[in-house]
A and B are shown apart, each in its own frame.
Chain A
Amino acid sequence: MYAFTFHRPQTLRQAASLLAKHEEAKLLAGGHTLLPTMKLRLAGPPQLVDLSLIDGIAGVAQSGRSLTIGAMTRHNDVSTSPVVQQAIPALAGLAGMIGDPAVRHMGTIGGSIANNDPNADYPAACLGLGATIITNKRRIKADDFFTGMFSTALEPAEIITKVSFPIPKKAAYQKFRNQASRFALVGVFVSKRGSEIRVAVTGAGANGVFRVPSFEEALKKRFAPKSLEGMTIPADGMNSDIHGSAEYRAHLVGVLARRAVAEAIGK
């Protein structure tokens, strides 16, 4: 690790001004991507801005038909929250599948979606539930937030404060793990809220998380695995590496989508 200056602001305003002042500064939320990268000397931000002392950006709250999760909420707190388990059990389940216990006790939802790792789980939940990402500056729809692998709509000095999830009628997440890293080789999140159907895929796409309109259309007719029978997506645009070919990933999208729908309807 290279030497860096460690800032621990007490307010969002202080954090934002540190980011504005130091162009190369990095935010430290859970640190589960940033710190290993720094330890390997692959990153060496001269300034690190820790968000853990800022009040009011962690915790879970339900109001009406939406669930709001503070950006600094740890994965473990999401997965074990009775409120989340009651409102969106698929989201609690997803949080409980991230990494291992050590990761889940440090990693945060804000850190995960700001990083937008193409194999991370939370981006699938945000896109698959039609979440709204709330920052210190504005509200951004999930559909507009994830702009490509490791890239988001966040501007410099913009800090995620919370994520608001509309509560779906039905939802489920199916994750097929990369055996080595335990990240999602392919993960599919499906949800149904009124007439809105969403199918979001992480892990598979060369450009990060994406929705599958053809699956969504098919599920609008009937929200059942049978509606997706025999359906797949083109291998073009899928990741291909030593862990799986583009064809395999494309195939898994269909398999996991059917399984997710089955789980969502309780079959």
Chain B
Amino acid sequence: MSITGIGAAVRRKEDHRFITGTGHYTADINRPGQAFGYFIRSPHAHAAIKSIDAKMAAGMPGVLAVLTGAQLAADKIGNLICGWMVHSDDGSPMKMAPHPALANGKACHVGDPVAVVIAETLAQARDAAEKVQVEYGVLPAIADPAAAQKQGAPQIHEVAPHNTIYKWHLGDANAVEAAFKSAKHVTKLDLVNNRLVPNAIEPRAAIGEYDAGAGTFTLWNTTQNPHVARLVIAAFVGMAPEHKLRVIAPDVGGGFGSKIFIYPEEVVALWASKRVGRPVKWVAERSEAFLADAHGRDHVTHAEMAFDAEGKVLALRAKTIANLGAYMSTFSSSVPTYLYATLLSGQYQIPQIYCEVDAVYTNTVPVDAYRGAGRPEATFVVERLMEVGAREMGQDPVDLRQRNFIKSFPHQTPVIMNYDSGDYGASLKKALEIADYKGFAKRKRESERNGKLRGIGFSNYIEACGIAPSQAVGSLGCGVGLWESAEVRVNPTGSVEVLTGCHAHGQGHETTFAQVVSDRLGIPIENVSVVHGDTDKVQFGMGTYGSRSGAVGMSALAKALDKVEAKAKKVAAHLLEAAEGDIEFKDGKFNVAGTDKSAAWGDVALNAYIAHKFSGQELEPGLKEGAFYDPKNFTFPAGCHICEVEVDPDTGNSEIVAWTAVDDFGVVVNPMIVEGQVHGGIAQGVGQALCEGAVYDKDGQLLTGSLMDYCMPRADHLPPMKVDTTVTRCPSNPLGVKGCGEAGAIAAPAAVINAVTDAIGTEQLAMPATPAAVWAALQRAPKAPRAA
């Protein structure tokens, strides 16, 4: 390992510019002649758009255009699509309703864009927007997913009777039923996985620019996957052919999934730029983001777990209603199906699993992937059942888990996934030691003396990351392949540019990808630059989500580096006048085996380009290689999180007093960055468990429409975290990495709720467990919570 190679906790190269205000985010970019767009959004959850009168607005100072859905349709701009086909049990395809970038005829949620004003300045656009008169015919609305399919519920889209998008299942219902019949004990839970508003620190933004001379479009966009955006906007929306559209995702300030999707505003920015002949810029306001960025989670689930007399799990079944909001967002269909039900085996040997999922439309903001995407929901189901099962059967939750752990690999679950490696007992054991589980009873007594209720909760999560083998996801309905590409360009002076189809929006790729190169070529990371986020520079790539950059993107890089090394050895052989087979490459030096003859990396790079030592017919000059890497399997990071809380029974306030996380992410490239990812993930998971929750009223108005009412976790919600790792290599990729980006958000909610319910002695507690909710649960609970 070089000092900046794999495993080194080097500082992030990109942070200097981020923290000194010298990054380049979309909002920082200004184009010559740029105009501004301001969207008029529906104030109603469900309403017919009877008329739009823009005459007065069009005459206001600075106004260039007022554009509506009717004009969008007239210009034959296509609808936004959901790119993952899920079929219902009866074989029928999911009911994808039209999703125009500007509502045409009908608005389906509060915030649905119905028109856009383009003006010289933002203030002028905003002034004019107030003068656009939209006449609405308000329709009855439905926001509650559990009620969306009921008889008499307002119908949102003609294509989807009873607001049902699909009725899907995974597993063998009869086998599960038989297992339940033979059970000694059955644990049953009704669970709500609360709806979340992502709130990346950088709001979404887009600049569309049309070059009339060249007939080309450029889109600067806050996206996690610029090539996918280009593909969809070209092939489905039909804005321009793919080779006439360039998408640039510059520095992006956080995504958490919400910037994967193709959104109306970026389509409108492109279209409007052609209409008005000027670049058009749009930057979301925070309150706009609450109504326009895809939300996350929003599941209503009934789940049951069957145990035998020894506490072995016999079967699990779950029925989930997943709220997909008013339209199907880009990958929305996959989240509550293939990213959720496939993880219901958790870390356990469960012979039979059956899961039914109904996806429904409601008059709410579309719901799609959010950090963890389906896997936090699955973990919450499995780990709540495990913990409550242990309590009901009077067993130690640790013993119950250990008894049911999968212990040999590979392990085929009944729900598609084939786990490749892991050691669940090892992470649990380490976590128990760090958390001092043995001392818990004593700590609980101390808390009691201070009038506090102490609880401990476990979450032994698993996730499927490294998304994903293309053939496998294709067979499950995914419209794209999920391989990744990398190109390594070695310069004559030996410095290196890496082009990756992944995209960094906080992950630190400029550092970690450089570490992989440093490790392999023996050059310092300062001599490596990482290029991403521009479809004109990187040929193609699938972007970053699902903890895939390490497992898939770096694997592509490793594959390209193999080719670079092979080519460089040929050059070195000529330079050192030795046979190619005698060249050894180590620590940045090429040696002739058994001799002291050697050439430095820089000499070989230079000779590859000056090409004086070999004939061009024999060996091509230059040193540049590319690779596409398609994973063989998902990766399966897993671990154990232990949360300890103290609840104040007088106020209901839950304070997290200790957190232990022991994760197995496979090989760790940069432990400092991994620890940061774990911290951030836990913060988001704690946010979901204790304070975050989007609340709609019955008319579909978002009551938590700003940070005054929607509570993001703050530093004082979080304890110092004890974070550690265990390592089992991922056998299916060259670096042995599994991925770490989502683990904390997946593990944390169950750990917190298991801890709080342990403290208060009742399982009747929904997320977010706010002080008011915990106090109310305590009032309902039987008196005197159990002693430790």
Seen from chain A, the residues whose Cβ lies within 8 Å of a Cβ on chain B are 40-41, 176, 179-181, 242-245, 248, 251-252, 255
Contact = CB atoms under 8 A, between A and B. Distances in A.
Given A179-B691, A180-B691, A251 B709 contact: no
Given A179-B770, A180-B711, A248-B652, 17 more contacts: A40-B287, A41-B126, A41-B130, A176-B771, A180-B708, A181-B707, A181-B709, A242-B704, A242-B709, A243-B709, A243-B770, A245-B776, A248-B772, A248-B776, A252-B651, A255-B650, A255-B651
A67 B227 CA distance: 66
Contacts of B609: none
Contacts of B287: 40
B704 A179 contact: no
A242 B695 contact: yes
Interface string B444-478: 00000000000000000000000000000000000
13 contacts: A176-B653, A176-B771, A179-B691, A179-B771, A180-B707, A180-B709, A181-B707, A242-B695, A242-B704, A244-B771, A248-B652, A248-B772, A255-B651
A181 B776 contact: no
A180 B710 contact: yes
B56 interface: no
Given A179-B770, A181-B708, A251 B691 contact: no
Contacts of B651: 176, 252, 255
Interface of B: 126, 130, 287, 650-653, 691, 695, 703-704, 707-712, 770-772, 775-776
B240 to A, nearest CB: 36
Given A248-B775, A252-B651, A242 B703 contact: yes
Contacts of A252: 651
Contacts of A176: 651, 653, 771
B686 to A, nearest CB: 12
Given A179-B691, A255-B650, A255-B651, A244 B711 contact: no
A99 to B, nearest CB: 12
A76 B772 CA distance: 30
A179 B711 contact: yes
Nearest to A186: B651
Main secondary structure of the interface of A (DSSP, over half): loop
A57 B143 CA distance: 51
A179 B287 CA distance: 18
Closest 3 CB pairs of A and B: A180-B711, A244-B772, A179-B711
A35 to B, nearest CB: 15
Contacts of B704: 180, 242
* Residue among B652, B704, B710, B772 facing the most chain A CB atoms (10 A cut-off): B772
A40 B652 CA distance: 34
A181 B710 CA distance: 8
Nearest to A258: B650
A41 B776 CA distance: 37
A179 B770 CA distance: 8
* Residue among A179, A181, A242 facing the most chain B CB atoms (10 A cut-off): A179
B772 A243 contact: yes
A96 to B, nearest CB: 15
Contacts of A248: 652, 772, 775-776
A171 to B, nearest CB: 21
Nearest to B695: A242
B775 A251 contact: yes
A163 to B, nearest CB: 26
* Residue among B287, B703, B770 facing the most chain A CB atoms (10 A cut-off): B770
B769 to A, nearest CB: 11
Contact of B772 (A40, A41, A181, A245): A245
Contacts of B770: 179, 243
A135 to B, nearest CB: 30
A243 B770 CA distance: 8
Nearest to B123: A1
A245 B775 CA distance: 10
Contacts of B691: 179-180
Contacts of B776: 245, 248
A71 B709 CA distance: 29
B40 to A, nearest CB: 13
A40 B130 CA distance: 13
B777 to A, nearest CB: 12
A194 B708 CA distance: 40
Contacts of B130: 41
Contacts of A242: 695, 703-704, 709
Contacts of B709: 180-181, 242-243
Contacts of A179: 691, 711, 770-771
Contacts of B653: 176
A40 B290 CA distance: 14
Nearest to B693: A242
Contacts of A245: 772, 776
Contacts of A255: 650-651
A255 B695 CA distance: 28
Nearest to A244: B772
Contacts of B707: 180-181
Contacts of A181: 707-709
